[in-house]
């Protein structure tokens, strides 16, 4: 039994080098995907030319300007909660791996991707006691299959305020603006200051009116509660401002929080633990619990130790649940990669002990590569789950804009536009007419099986937050080359 276990642990290290992936190409395409998700008036330097201007009157139902931002996935709704998390992760990646992005000429594109989101979040948070958190009627939108450029579903605007609060989304928006303020600190000082100021006000709002936000359900229900978002936001504000008030807040709240084996748009317990561990390594001894919380996550995700608890497919992909599962494998790869970076920068013991096993920083890197390489094509199907990367990748991505020819118009038919989209495009067996380059789809099931059929949204729908996490994991690998 011990011999078989040893083979299981070592096998991923051998497989890591079996494929020769162009990580520079992958990260460039990963960032390009965000241009496919843009809402609003597109800029002159827009590179995804099959996209056009869309949703130019968002916010008009309340006479506010909510034009811009991102569509979260394959639909045409702007959900503020996952959008803010996307921006937080992109900003974290930019802060940790600026040299990696710069070395391949992608730092400006990454900053542009972040700013497209923060410009919108600043509009949405102009009132300190009101945050616009969604644009678009989610149910009506999901009942239609239309390109965003010609959609005719209601663009209803939703807000949280003092009488209808939502701590999760307010705190995540604070985290996004605080982290982005660091990205632009030496690039645009005035813009950076504006974001940090807005972030502090949003945090106060989120903390003062402590209530879970449920209006985005059933699409983005927060199952982890709001404690993780509040600590996540406080940690980013501490990092951005050096205000000791936030450190005190963290001390008062940290002992009441548990640990988690998941890192996602919903669950940030492991995220702030890793972020705080950097401060611990730099001498903030009062944050000792951050390290064991961070290493709980590491041990739970790396296989072959007595503390491992996260399932994997036979091919080695982290698998938590169906529906955008690649976000969990990308999240584990990104977060463990960042923790590895902090260990290397510290004077601490550069290893993680997980019960009966000890993992070096090289082992952590091999884990990151194993998850990234699986998604890029090193898997039982030899299928790249990044669209447009490699010789075999999904052709029927569950994405309205990509699946409908940009010259298509229902004007010549009598049926309603929603029906036209479903009958003419959604049900088509042909590949998407527009290649959604760089998109990371939901990925295979627990058995490594995958069905490339457009209606299979569980496996074929991409999301902005998955791409953000994956870009960070790629940048970590590039930083070691």
- Which residues does the annotation mark as catalytic? 398
Q: Which of 176, 24, 216, 4 is nearest to 109 (CA)?
A: 24
Residue 460 is encoded by which pair of tokens?
């074929």
Residue 352 three-state SS: strand
H helix intervals, 97-218? 98-103, 107-124, 138-142, 167-183, 189-208
Residue position matching structure tokens 């399932």: 311
Cα separation, 339 vs 376, in Å, equals 22
Which stretch of DSSP H or E encloses residue 357?
strand 357-360
Residue 388 is encoded by which pair of tokens?
């447009």
Burial class (CB in 10 A: 0-12, 13-18, 19+), 20: exposed
Cα separation, 365 vs 299, in Å, equals 14
Between β-strands 351-354 and 357-360, what pairing exists: parallel, antiparallel or unpaired? antiparallel
Residue 244 three-state SS: helix
Residue 420 is encoded by which pair of tokens?
């036209």
Give Cα 50 distance to the centre of its chain: 24
Helices 326-345 and 288-301 cross at an angle (nearest 10°) of 130
Q: Is residue 397 within 8 Å of 120, Cβ to Cβ?
A: no
Residue 374 vs residues 34, 222, 442: alpha-carbon distances, Å: 22, 28, 13
């Amino acid at each position: 039994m011990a011999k078989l276990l040893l083979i299981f642990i070592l096998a991923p290290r051998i497989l890591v080098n079996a494929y020769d992936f162009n990580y520079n190409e992958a990260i460039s395409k990963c960032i390009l995907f965000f241009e496919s998700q843009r809402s609003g008036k597109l800029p002159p330097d827009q590179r995804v030319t099959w996209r056009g201007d869309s949703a130019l009157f968002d916010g008009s139902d309340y006479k506010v300007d909510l034009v811009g931002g991102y569509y979260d996935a394959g639909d045409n709704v702007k959900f503020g909660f996952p959008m803010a998390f996307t921006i937080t992760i992109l900003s974290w990646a930019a802060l940790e791996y600026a040299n990696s992005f710069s070395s391949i000429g992608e730092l400006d594109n990454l900053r542009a991707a972040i700013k497209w989101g923060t410009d919108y979040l600043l509009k949405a948070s102009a009132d300190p006691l009101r945050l616009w958190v969604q644009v678009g009627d989610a149910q009506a939108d999901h009942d239609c299959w239309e390109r965003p450029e010609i959609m005719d579903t209601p663009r209803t605007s939703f807000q949280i305020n003092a009488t209808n609060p939502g701590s999760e989304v307010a705190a995540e928006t604070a985290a996004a603006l605080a982290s982005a303020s660091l990205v632009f600190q030496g690039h645009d000082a005035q813009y950076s200051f504006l974001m940090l100021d807005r972030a502090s006000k949003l945090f106060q709002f989120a903390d003062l009116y402590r209530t879970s936000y449920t209006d985005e359900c059933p699409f983005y229900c927060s199952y982890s509660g709001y404690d993780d978002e509040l600590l996540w936001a406080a940690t980013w504000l501490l990092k951005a401002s050096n205000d000791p008030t936030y450190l005190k807040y963290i001390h008062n709240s940290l002992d009441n929080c548990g640990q988690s084996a998941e890192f996602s748009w919903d669950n940030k317990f492991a995220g702030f633990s890793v972020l705080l561990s950097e401060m611990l390594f730099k001498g903030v001894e009062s944050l000792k619990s951050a390290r064991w919380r961070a290493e709980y996550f590491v041990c739970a995700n790396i296989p072959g130790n007595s503390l491992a608890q996260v399932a994997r497919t036979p091919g080695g992909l982290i698998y938590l649940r169906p529906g955008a599962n690649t976000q969990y494998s990308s999240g584990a790869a990104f977060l463990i990669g960042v923790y590895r970076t902090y260990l290397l920068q510290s004077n601490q013991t550069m290893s993680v002990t997980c019960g009966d096993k000890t993992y070096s920083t090289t082992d952590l890197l091999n884990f990151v590569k194993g998850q990234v390489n699986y998604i890029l094509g090193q898997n039982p199907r030899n299928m790249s789950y990044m669209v447009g990367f490699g010789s075999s990748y999904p052709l029927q991505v569950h994405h309205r804009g990509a699946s409908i020819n940009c010259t298509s118009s229902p004007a010549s038919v009598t049926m309603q536009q929603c029906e036209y989209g479903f009958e003419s495009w959604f049900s088509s067996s042909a590949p998407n007419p527009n290649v959604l380059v760089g998109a990371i789809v939901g990925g295979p099931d627990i058995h490594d099986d995958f069905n490339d059929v457009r209606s299979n949204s569980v496996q074929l729908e991409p999301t902005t937050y998955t791409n953000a996490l994956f870009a960070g994991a790629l940048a970590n690998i590039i930083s070691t080359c």
